[in-house]
Each structure stands twice: as C-alpha cells, then as structure tokens.
C-alpha cells in the first residue's frame, strides 16, 4: 500500500506549511535540522529510498524531552534499524511500511517506539493502485480535502460532498472557522492571522524513525517507515490497507510529543481514517522515473486514451520532451466504464476542468527536476 507519494513543496515552504500553535496559543514553525532543507527534493513521484520531510519532536535533536518544539528533518524512506550490520544501501526495501498490528512486538519497530522515535511523515498525498480482475492496475491519488481559495486565485473547489469529511474538532481553540485551515490541523482564523499558511494542507501520516550510525563513523543515517492500518470504508474499494493518517493538530501533537504522551496512549491515534479524498490518475505515475505533475492530474477512467487536448497537456507537462509517438493508434471501441466499481461512489469527486487546473497549476514550475537521469547503459 503506501509505497508512493507526492511531495512538491519547496524546502523553504515546508516550515510554513507546518505552522502550529503551541499550548500558549502562540504560532510556531518548525525549523529544518541543519542542512536538511538541501537534502529534500520536491517531486510528484516519491518512492522509497528517497528523502522526504518528516516532523519530529525537537528532543531528538537536543531539545528537552518535554518540549513542544518540532524539527523538520529530511529522512530516508525505508527504515534501517540502529543495530543493522552491513551496507544500509538498499536495505529498506521491505521496511517502507510497518503493520500497526505488529509494531509493538516486532523488534524492528518496538525498539524505536520505546525510544519515543515517532515521526509525522509529510506529503501532498499518496498513491494507491487498485488491481482489477484483469490484473490491470488503476492508480489513485489520495489526500486531505483542500479548502477553497487555495493559492489565492483558484475559483473552483471540489464539489461539495467529495471526500468524506469526518472532521471531528477535538479540543480546538475558540476560533469557529470551518472555512480556512490549510495548515496542519485546525488552524486559526485567517483574518487576524497573516502568518498562516494559505497553500496546500499537507497529508500527515504516522511514522517511526531510527538512526543508524556507520561503523566507521560519520554522519548518522536517519530513516523512517509509514505505519499502515486496515483501509477505512471510504477507500477500501480501492485498496484494503492505508497509511495511519493523523487527522488534525491534536493528533499530530500527541504523536510527536513522546515525553507527554506515553506510547500506550499514542497508539490510540493509529487507526483507519475516513478524512481523505481522492481521484484516479494516469498510469504515468507507475514508473517512478516520471516526476512530472501529470502524475497527480485527475483522469477520467476509460478515457485515458490520448485525446487531442490531453496530448497537448502532456506535451506541456513534459516541457522539454517531444510528445512521444504512440506505437499504434489503435483505439478500441469506446466502452467507457468509468467511476469507482460500485461500492461507495458517494463521496467520489468527479474530475472537473477546474479541478484539473488546480493540479496543473502547481506542477508547472516545479517539475523537471530529476527527469534528466541517464537511464542505464545503452546496448550497442
């Protein structure tokens, strides 16, 4: 399940997107651990072994155990235990997820958990592949519902009734805003809060991290794993597992503050969440070398055959590259069978031109990053 994400915020924007209020009501932003802002590379197609932003309690980097301070670190996806002997390169192939059902007893995760090494994994959203009877896979992008006004000049929002919004407001503050809260959790009122983040609300997933020190010494390697749970009903028809999503500021805080919230309490946060929305995307995302924004653009299932406009869009997204020539323009009879396979399509958002533009809008500038990697040797 959770083996692919998108994380596209510029390193300098991540701290802003992680603004929160401390128990005194004061606004704070986590800071990057030394140099880590330069180790994270935004991408619309993040695979295990990449470094991505995670939040941890600052106690792990010199702060008091009880501190509310948070630190942003660029950790590597795929947990390498501190006791691992050998070359950690390529070790974490099977530790990108931790089953919540066994994490308290299995050595891989028990150790770090008992040391309070809980982290919050940040992303725009994650990808899930639905396997059809025919064996074909349809990828979906899954994320927190975004509020209106995103980016400032977006005039369209998802139709109401899209993602299952089970926003429970725990012990929130006085602010009764149901409108704006793009920051992690229930933000404050924007009107009197010019410092608030107005961009995308990042998905927050519960993770476990560890620190591995090379035998020969040198920089410690920080790695993490994403905890998984059974899928919530809303998305179970796509896939039967999902990441442990932390919905809201209170949950994020409790997962991070290991000095205040003991493990046996914190584990109560690990459970299926309904608070997500999603849309189908192109199989362009399948190959992790494809980093373009096309990975997150909504598609209409059954209409993935390139249309004139989609070709143009594709070409634009690819920017440098000429639109590839299709091998054969065989176009089977249009027998569109769109929509989610029946069960619970109720809270599905249907792609609209407007929605599409909202996804395109953010891809345009950021991609093009590492798509110039020379593939393997070429046969001669």
Partner DNA sequence: CCAGACGTTGTT
Partner DNA sequence: GTCTGG
* Catalytic positions: 2, 128
**240 binding DNA? (CB under 7 A):** yes
Within positions 4 to 43, which residues make up the interface with DNA, using CB under 7 A? 4
Stretch that binds DNA, among 28-36, 103-111, 195-203, 207-215 (CB under 7 A): 103-111
Nearer to DNA, 71 or 117 (CB): 117
Nearer to DNA, 45 or 277 (CB): 45
Within positions 45 to 64, which residues make up the interface with DNA, using CB under 7 A? 47-49
| 368 vs 169: CA distance, rounded Å | 39
**106 binding DNA? (CB under 7 A):** yes
Q: Shortest distance, CB of residue 109 to DNA, whole angstroms? A: 7
DSSP state of 281: B
Nearer to DNA, 286 or 310 (CB): 286
Q: In the block, which residue shows the tokens 């599905």?
A: 348
**112 binding DNA? (CB under 7 A):** no
**344 binding DNA? (CB under 7 A):** no
Q: Which of 228, 314, 318, 358 binds DNA (CB under 7 A)?
A: 228
**131 binding DNA? (CB under 7 A):** yes
Stretch that binds DNA, among 146-154, 207-215, 246-254, 287-295 (CB under 7 A): 287-295
Within positions 70 to 99, which residues make up the interface with DNA, using CB under 7 A? 81-83, 85, 89-91, 93-99
Give the total residue count for the chain. 380
Stretch that binds DNA, among 101-109, 169-177, 272-280, 311-319 (CB under 7 A): 101-109
59: three-class secondary structure by DSSP: helix
DSSP for 247-290, written as a single string = -SHHHHHHHH-TTTS-HHHHGGG-S-----EEEEB-GGGGSTT-
Question: How far, CA to CA in Å, does 283 sit from each of 44, 137, 170, 205, 351?
Answer: 13, 8, 38, 24, 16
Q: Write phi, then psi, for 163 (nearest 5 degrees).
A: -55, 150
Say how far residue 178 (Cα) sits from the centre of its chain: 23
**129 binding DNA? (CB under 7 A):** yes
Residue 192, H or E segment = none
Indicate left, alpha or beta for 299 from its phi (over 0: left) and psi (-120 to 50: alpha). Answer: beta
Nearer to DNA, 103 or 313 (CB): 103
| 307 vs 202: CA distance, rounded Å | 32
Q: Which of 111, 199, 259, 306 binds DNA (CB under 7 A)?
A: 111
Q: Shortest distance, CB of residue 181 to DNA, whole angstroms? A: 29
Q: Shortest distance, CB of residue 297 to DNA, whole angstroms? A: 17
Q: In the block, which residue shows the tokens 């809201």?
A: 248
Which of 154, 155, 150 shows the shortest CA–CA distance to 196? Answer: 150
**1 binding DNA? (CB under 7 A):** yes
Nearer to DNA, 217 or 334 (CB): 217
Q: Shortest distance, CB of residue 134 to DNA, whole angstroms? A: 11
**220 binding DNA? (CB under 7 A):** no
Q: What track of x and - describes contact with DNA for positions 168 through 207 (by CB under 7 A)?
A: ----------------------------------------
Which of 276, 278, 239 shows the shortest CA–CA distance to 359? Answer: 278
Are 244 and 271 in contact by the 8 Å Cβ rule? The answer is yes
**Half-sphere exposure in the Cβ direction for 77 (13 Å, CA):** 26
What b/e string do you get for 101-114 counting C-beta neighbours within 10 Å, with b at 16 or more? eebeeeebbeebbe
Interface residues with DNA (CB under 7 A) are 1-4, 47-49, 81-83, 85, 89-91, 93-99, 102-103, 106-109, 111, 129, 131, 137, 228, 239-241, 283, 286-289, 373, 376
């Amino acid at each position: 399940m959770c083996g692919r994400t998108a994380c596209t915020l510029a390193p300098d924007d991540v701290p802003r997107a992680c603004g929160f209020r401390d128990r005194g009501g004061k606004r704070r932003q986590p800071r990057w651990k030394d140099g880590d802002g330069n180790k994270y590379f935004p991408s619309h197609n993040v695979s295990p072994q990449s470094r991505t932003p995670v939040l941890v309690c600052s106690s792990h980097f010199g702060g008091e155990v009880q501190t509310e301070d948070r630190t942003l670190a660029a950790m590597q996806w795929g947990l390498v235990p501190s006791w691992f002997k050998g070359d950690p390169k390529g070790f974490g192939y099977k530790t990108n997820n931790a089953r919540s059902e066994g994490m308290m007893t299995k050595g891989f995760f028990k150790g770090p958990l008992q040391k309070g090494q809980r982290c919050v994994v940040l992303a725009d959203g994650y990808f899930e592949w639905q396997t059809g009877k025919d064996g074909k896979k349809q990828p979906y992008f899954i994320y927190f519902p975004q509020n209106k006004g995103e980016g400032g000049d977006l005039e369209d929002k998802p139709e109401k009734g899209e993602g299952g919004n089970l926003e429970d407001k725990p012990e929130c503050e006085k602010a009764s805003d149901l409108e704006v809260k793009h920051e992690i959790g229930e933000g404050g009122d924007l009107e009197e809060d010019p410092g608030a983040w107005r961009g995308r609300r990042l998905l927050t997933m519960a993770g476990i991290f560890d620190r591995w020190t090379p035998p020969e010494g040198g920089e410690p390697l920080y790695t993490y794993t994403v905890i998984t749970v059974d899928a919530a009903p809303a998305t179970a028809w796509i896939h039967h597992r999902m990441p442990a999503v932390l919905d809201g500021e209170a949950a994020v805080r409790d997962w991070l503050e290991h000095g205040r919230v003991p493990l046996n309490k914190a584990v109560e946060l690990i459970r299926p969440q309904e608070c997500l929305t999603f849309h189908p995307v192109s199989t362009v995302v399948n190959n992790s070398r494809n980093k373009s924004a096309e990975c997150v653009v909504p598609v209409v299932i059954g209409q993935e055959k390139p249309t004139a406009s989609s070709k143009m869009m594709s070409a634009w997204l690819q920017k440098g590259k000429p639109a590839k020539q299709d091998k054969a323009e065989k176009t089977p009879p249009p027998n569109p069978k769109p929509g989610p396979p029946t069960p619970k399509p109720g809270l599905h958002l249907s792609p609209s031109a407007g929605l599409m533009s909202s996804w395109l809008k953010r891809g345009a500038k950021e991609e093009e990053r590492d798509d110039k990697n020379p593939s393997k040797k070429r046969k001669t």
